[in-house]
Amino acid sequence: MSKKQILRREILKLRDGLLPEERGEKSKRIRGKLFALPEFKAAKTVLFYSAKGSEVETKRAIKKTLSSGKKVGLPIVKGKNLFFSQILQFGELSPSTFGILEPKECRPISLDKADLTIIPGIAFDTQGNRIGFGKGFYDRFLEKIPERVLKIGLAFELQITATVPKTLTDIPVDKIITEKRIIKCNQ
């Protein structure tokens, strides 16, 4: 078993061990920090992920962002890639690939139009490196996103580790928001 696989298993066990109330409270604190960021306030187009299982909950953040008048995009899995589609309301989403909520209708959002993207992960280090589920969807997405687009990882503090195994092609996030802090990653 690789270092990534071991770390993925360990962190998932910890994250899955959070009680639903605890996860909800921590997600609320993370949401508050996200909404307070000057970059988030200034953003016109935000790309989110739709949380599943024990991930940081994003439904309320998506709804609030929509109600603030910002353009919101969520990913659609096509083959081995993610394509982002604009949603106008949360109710447009339905379970699709891997049981993740995806937009029903395709209103493509060009990555050039994005100002900020919210990135999921199982483990992060303070340099912005991340481990996902190992399918590479977000790794391929991060290769395509313009450098000027702010990349923010949402994580519970227990998902932050000293180092995450990485490759030369891995693209780190710029900031990580946990319930306790905002980490400005060293680039």
> What's the rounded Cα separation, in Å, for the pair 187 and 176?
13
33 is an annotated ligand-binding site residue: no
Non-local CB neighbours of 21 within 8 Å, separated by 6+ positions? none
How far, in whole angstroms, is CA 155 from its chain's centroid?
8
Confirm whether residue 8 is marked as ligand binding: yes
Q: Amino acid identity, residue 184?
A: K
Q: Is 135 annotated to bind ligand?
A: yes
Residue 141 annotated as binding site: no
- Is 26 labelled a binding residue? no
Q: Is 86 annotated as a binding residue?
A: no
Pair of tokens at residue 54:
């024990």
- Tell me: is residue 32 an annotated ligand-binding position: no
**138 annotated to bind ligand:** yes
133 is in an annotated binding site: yes
Residue 24 assigned to a binding site: no
Is 79 part of any known ligand binding site?
A: no
Say if CB 174 and CB 128 are below 8 A apart. Answer: yes
Q: Is 55 annotated as a binding residue?
A: yes
Q: What is d(CA 112, CA 110) in angstroms, rounded to the nearest whole number?
A: 5
Which residue carries 């339905």 as its tokens?
94
Residue 6 annotated as binding?
A: yes
Residues comprising the binding site for substrate? 55
Residues comprising the binding site? 4-8, 55, 130-138
Residues comprising the binding site for ATP? 4-8, 130-138
